[in-house]
Structure formats: C-alpha cells, structure tokens
A and B are shown apart, each in its own frame.
Chain A
Amino acid sequence: MTTVLFLVAAAVAVIATLRVITQLHIVHALLYLIVSFLAVAVVFYLLGAPFIAALEVIVYAGAIMVLFVFVVMMLNQGLREVEQERRWLVRGMWTGPSLLAAVLLVEVLYLVWHRTPSGESSVVGPREVGLALYGPYLIAVELGSLLLLPGIIGAYHLGRREPKE
C-alpha cells in the first residue's frame, strides 16, 4: 500500500513540476510549484522523515513561495491590475492545482486514518535529527548562520531605495 501511495505522490510531483516549467503565467506556475513541494513533502513522510516533511511544507511551500508571491505583487503595475484580477479568477486557473492538491489531501487523510507512519523504512524522528544537528554537525550549523547573515545584509542592500534628490 505504501508503494501505491508513493507512486501517486511521485506522479503528482512530476505532473506539477512539468506544469511549472510549461506555464506561461507566473502565478499559475507558482501554484503548481507549491503543489509540487507538497507532493515531495508526502514522499518525505512516506520515507520516514516526518520532521523534514513538516519543514518542507512550512519553509519551502510556505515561506519561500510567499517571497515569490510578494515579488510578483511588487512587480505588478497599478493600471493593469484590475484587468489581471478578472483574468485570474477564471475557473481554469485553480482547478488543476486544486485537483492535484486534493489527491495529496486524500493520501494524507488515508495515512492519518490508518496510522501508518511509514512503510518498510524506519522512522527517523526530530529527536535523532536534532541530536545529529547539534552534535557532530555543529560546525555546519555555525556555517549556516554565517551564510544567512550575508543573505540578510545582501537582501537589505539590494532592496534599499536611494533617496531621490
């Protein structure tokens, strides 16, 4: 049964990713990309990595995609916006991602209902990951913080508006 669930989630991921790279409209592509990340999160859960599945949903499908949506909003010109909203609210825009997300929802509901945390592979929970992260990988955590600080400063510097004189 786990194999069937895995195959369905993998098919959803591949279809959604295909739609991302063939889509013409950026917001449609973003919707499909979110569905693709959610499908990969289901695959993580089936692989016995529930912590990583939660991180994928929260950070990838949540935070990083919200960044993309914010940038799309900031790039929008004011005059075309109303016309664009009208075109975005047609049915064809949200049916595809909704159908794919509904497949994933059915899958997760099945997993919760039958209380099967994973298949043949054993579950490696957040406790083990945290112990490894702050034990042997402590120096890499420090390097990650060293990476994030220039990220913050760089994003601030690039996004700063020069005062017009």
Chain B
Amino acid sequence: MVQGALGLAAILFALGLIGLLVRRNIMYVLMSIEIMMNAAGLAFVAAGASWGQPDGQVMFVFILTLAAAEVSVGLGLVLLMYERFRTMDIDALSTMRG
C-alpha cells in the first residue's frame, strides 16, 4: 500500500502541475499549488509509514504550516490584484515583461 500511496502522490502532484500550467485564473493557480503541496505531504507520510517512524508525519506538519502561511499571503495578493486590476487573469499582470 505504501507503493500505491507514493503512486497516488505522484498522480496528484502531476494533476496539480497540469492545473498550474493550464489555468490562467489566479484562484485556480493557488488551488493547484495547494494540491501539489498536499501530494508532497502524502509522499512524506507514505515514506514515514513504510519505516514505521514519525518523521514523515512531522514533515507533514511543517508542510501544513508552510501551506497556511503561503495561502494567507497569496489570498491577500489576490484581493489586492482584484482591487487594482478588476481581473483574475494572471496574464494581465505582464508589465514587468517577465
């Protein structure tokens, strides 16, 4: 089952990456990042369960902290962007010519 969980983590990460590349709405981009972080946490927990050690779960707690901090700042940026540009399209923010 550990192999299955690692495969599931890979599939979820790939789906999140596809969503990140395909969607241009910033909310979907943030949600895809959440999916990818969750998949990384699943890989950590599966690896920890394979040895019966708590280290994987500890790493998941840190990923959870990271996701909470990232999403709060990211959603603050979304609000600011909508206030200033009246759009959710991240291609509209191209004045830096990146």
Mark A residues whose CB is within 8 Å of B.
2-3, 6-7, 10, 13-14, 17-18, 20-21, 26, 29-30, 33, 36-37, 40, 43-44, 46-49, 51-52, 55-56, 59-60, 63-64, 67-68, 71-72, 74-75, 119-122, 124, 128-129, 131-133, 137, 140, 144, 147-148, 150-152, 154-155, 157-159
Contacts and interface: CB of A to CB of B under 8 A. Distances in A.
Contact of A47 (B45, B67, B76): B45
B49 A48 contact: yes
Contact of B31 (A33, A56, A122, A154): A33
B96 interface: no
Contacts, number: 168
Chain A CB within 10 A, most for which of B11, B38, B49, B88: B49
User: Which secondary structure characterizes the binding site on chain B?
Assistant: helix
Tell me the dominant secondary structure on chain A's binding face.
Answer: helix
B67 to A, nearest CB: 6
